Structure 1
Amino acid sequence: MYFDLDGTLCTYDRSFEEQFATTVSPYGEPTDAAYDAYVDRLFGALESCESEPYRRAFEAVAETAELDVAPVTLASDHCETELEALVVSANATRVLERVAETNPIGILTNGDGSQQRAKLERHGLGELVEEVLVSNDVGAGKPDPEIFDLAKERLPADEHVYVGDSYDEDIVGARSAGFRTIYVVENETGANDTDAADAVVSAVGELLDPTGLPSQIATPFEPAER
């Protein structure tokens, strides 16, 4: 069983714009133009699986704002700011603990490898999983079938399940690669499309009560017999 990370197992107690301002404010004015440059370059670097995406993003910031600091320092500062803003609910941890009792678990996520692993370690999730696949490490990101196929190779099984919060990247991508899928969407009734999902929940913690799940994917979430 594989889980997405951001938006599925973890959230943030500050918006990305607030995190950016926290990073930049000690060195200069966090303008809208600087933030836009940061977002555009960061997501471009992540989408193309470039190395050091945070450094590249702050190099773009340096071209739009006068900041008394090197981009590499801003990148380091911002990664720590992001980790400090990270929130993992007790229920999300319990879901992983329960599934790990009977099934191997992996993390399959887009992002920067070192930063995504730091998120897992910060909240003690790394010890619960057997595999971690990050787009920038493997050179392919969701919804590319390559990363899903690699995930199946890393944890061989008769059937694979993927839990994620992005419909196109996570649910459609995983379903196309042969996974059963669980769509985590904050407002189930407001979801525009759920056809590719075998189940829909409003938070990953709902998986602690598998009675509402289809039988073919409920088993991993049921308490192990003692």
Structure 2
Amino acid sequence: MADVIFLDLDGTLVDHRGAVFETIGRIARESPNATAPPGELADLWWALEARHMGEYLAGECSFGEHHRRRLRAFLPVLGEEVPDGNGLDAWIAQRYLAPFAENWRCYPDVLPCLEELRGLEGRPRLAVLTNGNAGQQRAKLERFGLLDHVEAVLTPAELGVAKPHAYGAACARMGVDPARAVNVGDVLEGDARAAVRAGLTGVWLDRGVDFYTGGPSPRADGSDLRIERLTELTDVLARATA
């Protein structure tokens, strides 16, 4: 068994995509001047999130500004005027972040997996490795009683680098040889294969949907360690390290 297991958060522990689409769908249905149906507006928000989150992770803007950039492009399609900076922040806080937090859902296989890992002899140390905002990600973990199971929550703010380039920095922060570390996440390329390239064992959690597109899962090859539920993790790691 590994010395350290890194766990992704969004799409692995908490259903981020589902919460986004539920929140934006409700906003769209409550907006009488919307220029597109709720499904299209949710798709647009998701695409804008990917674009501007990428800008934040590249250091091109702050986390708050990435929200403002998204909203400047989204509000005209929603049929609303674009307010100034303070108005944008208020819209995000009241209209989006509050209901978004209400729609967070922890996957049902998470706590059973963590309890199983906690019960192992010589149990591995656990850390969350996520590209999300530190405050928001800790709030998710606290909501579902997950903070007590992990030793650290590692984000670009702490590491100075984001996934898929953060694995070396994460291992250094945890004081572990990459060869003795495992990374588990729902994105085949960025969570599993990128970890392997950095010298870790990468495990792909295939939840049956592509996190970015919402379409079918990508296709694994024979070298990928794949699980469909987190409760399969201990077995697949035992086989991989036997």
Q: What's the TM-score, normalizing by structure 2?
A: 0.73
Q: Offset at 1:153?
A: 1.1
Q: Which segment is superposed worse, 157-166 or 68-77?
A: 68-77
Give the secondary structure class of the aligned counterpart of 2:114: helix
Bigger shift: 131-140 or 38-47?
A: 131-140
Q: Which of 159, 167, 179 lines up with 2:200 in the alignment?
A: 179
In structure 2, do the counterparts of structure 1 residues 176 and 131 end up closer, same or farther at CA, with 3 Å as the change threshold? same
2:185 aligned residue (131, 153, 164): 164
Matched, 1:203 2:229: yes
The answer on whether the counterparts of 1:35 and 1:61 sit within 8 Å (CA) in structure 2 is: no
User: Is the 1:161–1:179 Cα contact (8 Å) retained in structure 2?
Assistant: yes
Quick check: 92-101 or 152-161, which moved more? Answer: 92-101
Q: In structure 2, do the counterparts of structure 1 residues 42 and 153 end up closer, same or farther at CA, with 3 Å as the change threshold?
A: same
Aligned equivalents of 2:152, 2:134: Cα separation in 1:
13
Q: Name the structure 2 match of 1:71.
A: 88
Sort the Cα spacing of 1:162 and 1:30 in 2 relative to 1 into closer, same or farther, 3 A.
Answer: farther
Aligned to 1:222: none
* CA 1:115–1:211: 2 relative to 1, 3 Å: closer
Q: CA deviation at 1:202?
A: 0.7
- The answer (yes or no) to whether the contact 1:37–1:60 under 8 Å persists in 2 is no
Q: Which residue of 2 aligns with 1:126?
A: 147
Distance 1:5 1:47, change over 3 A: same
Q: 1:47 — aligned with what?
A: 54
Report the alpha carbon displacement of residue 138 of structure 1 after superposing the two structures with TM.
4.1
Report Cα offsets for 1:165-205 as digits up to 9, x if no partner.
101111111111111121111359x75123453x2111112
Q: Secondary structure of the residue that 2:154 maps to in structure 1?
A: strand
The SS at the match of 1:55 is helix
Offset of 1:66 from its aligned partner? 3.8
Alpha-carbon separation, structure 2, partners of 1:92 and 1:177: 25
Structure 2 matches for 1:19-30, cutoff 5 A? 19-23=23-27, 26=30, 29-30=33-34
Q: Could you say what the CA RMSD is over the residues aligned between the two structures, in angstroms?
A: 3.0
Q: Which runs of 5+ in 2 are unaligned?
A: 210-216
Q: In 1, Cα distance between the equivalents of 2:96 and 2:169?
A: 30
Q: Is the 8 A contact 2:109 2:229 kept in 1?
A: no
Structure 1's 162 and 110: CA in aligned 2 closer, same or farther, altered over 3 A?
same
Q: Which runs of no fewer than 5 residues in structure 1 stay unpaired?
A: 219-226
Change (3 A) 1:46 1:56: same
Q: Label 1:192 to 1:109 Cα distance change in 2 as closer, same or farther (>3 A).
A: same
Equivalent residue for 1:92, pick from 110, 121, 131: 110
Matched to 1:62, the amino acid is: L
Deviation at residue 164 of structure 1 after TM alignment: 0.8
Structure-1 residue corresponding to 2:72: 59
Query: How many residues end up aligned between the 2 structures?
Result: 212
Distance 1:46 1:148 in 2: 19
Query: 1:16 corresponds to which residue?
Result: 20
**How far, CA to CA, are the matches of 1:120 and 1:217 in structure 2?**
29
- 1:149 corresponds to which residue? 168
Inter-partner Cα distance in structure 1 for 2:75 and 2:30: 14
Of 125-134 and 40-49, deviating more is 40-49
Matched residue, 2:212:
none
Q: Report the counterpart of residue 115 of structure 1 in structure 2.
A: 136
TM-score of the aligned structures, taking structure 1 as reference length:
0.77
State whether residues 192 and 202 of structure 2, in contact with CA within 8 Å, keep that contact through their aligned partners in structure 1.
yes
What is residue 215 of structure 1 aligned with on the other side? 239
Q: 1:121 to 1:55 in 2, by over 3 A?
A: farther
